[in-house]
Amino acid sequence: MAQKVDAHKSRRDAGWRTIEAPYDAGTALTDARGDVLLFDCATLWLSNQMLDDTRDLAAEQARLFDALRRCQMPVIVVSNEVGEGVVPENALARQFREAQGRLNIELAQMADLVIKVTVGLPQVLKGKMP
Enzyme catalytic residues? 8
Three-state SS at 18: coil
DSSP string, the chain: -HHHHHHHHHTS-TT------SS-HHHHHHH--SS-EEEE-HHHHHHHHHH-TT--HHHHHHHHHHHHHH-SS-EEEE----SSSPPPSSHHHHHHHHHHHHHHHHHHHH-S-EEEEETTEEEEEES---
| Residue 46 DSSP symbol | H
